[in-house]
Amino acid sequence: MKLMRTEDAVGQVLCHDITQIIKGVTKDAVFRKGHIIRPEDIPVLLSVGKEHVYIWENDDTMLHENDAAEILRQLCQGPGMHATAPKEGKIELIADRDGLFMADTERLRSINQLGDMMIATIAGGFPVRAGDRLCGTRVIPLVIKKGRMEEARAAAGTEPLLSVLPFRAKSFGVVTTGSEVYRGLIEDTFTPVIEEKLAEYGCVMAAHEICDDRDEEITKAIRRMADEGIEMIFCTGGMSVDPDDRTPLAIRTPEPELSATELRFFREPCS
């Protein structure tokens, strides 16, 4: 830290906030610590009585907080997002599109454990919308050792820590089971719920069958949808341990000629 005449401080980095008080108008920092002094700032500094300021001395082993925040931004930013301008060592990442937000929590934790810096994100594995805030990076001290940022690079590896994967619209089918629905004793109210929820992601229902509680009929319905190339198949109803509920058995009991891949499809119909 070095004391310098304000008129000579253009291009230097402030070590402290500069407060401006105008009665009835403002009482706040007119310049924050870390601000790089510009020629047009000199009259403002003089007007608040700052003929001298403390500035950081140049040190090739140190980085300003905004430069360090830019490194964190580079480590984090993957496809589907954009960054805000750095401010006081902080940069935010904003979603550019609707999609699935993914975050590598293990590598994020490794960086956050280094100290003097932090990356805070929303939870990964959840859908986001364009414009959502995804992440905030922060370098805590005003200046930070370059070596510490190299440690962050090493912990992050070569791939971005964050990404927004675009939604991929898929076709889906619903196999509704249950003798009470099959015989018209009650209305199927669950299929419209599935259809509405998946429509938010651009998915369209391509097939819907209602089956009695007979495992062989349920298996055939699933098989027909798979043969038609339907990408996701949902089975609703008949999933308890009651003797009449045959859906789990129908999913686990494929036809003999099915391949290994198709066997997995039957056992994990929604994967």
For the chain, give every domain's residue range.
2-55, 62-166, 171-267
Instruction: Please give the pLDDT value at position 58.
Output: 65
Indicate the pLDDT class of residue 260, thresholds 50, 70 and 90. very low
Q: What's CA 221's distance to the chain center, in Å? A: 37
- First-to-last CA distance in the chain? 59
Residue 15 pLDDT greater than 80, yes or no: no
* Whole-angstrom distance, CA of residue 108 vs CA of residue 79: 17
Query: Which pTM was predicted?
Result: 0.66
Domain 171-267 in CATH 3.40.30.10: no
Instruction: Please give the pLDDT value at position 23.
Output: 76
pLDDT in tens, 23-48: 777 777 788 877 889 999 999 899 88
Assign 255 to helix, strand or coil: coil
* Whole-angstrom distance, CA of residue 93 vs CA of residue 155: 20
Instruction: Please give the pLDDT value at position 106.
Output: 95
CATH superfamily, region 2-55 = Molybdopterin biosynthesis moea protein, domain 2 (3.90.105.10)
* Whole-angstrom distance, CA of residue 171 vs CA of residue 188: 20
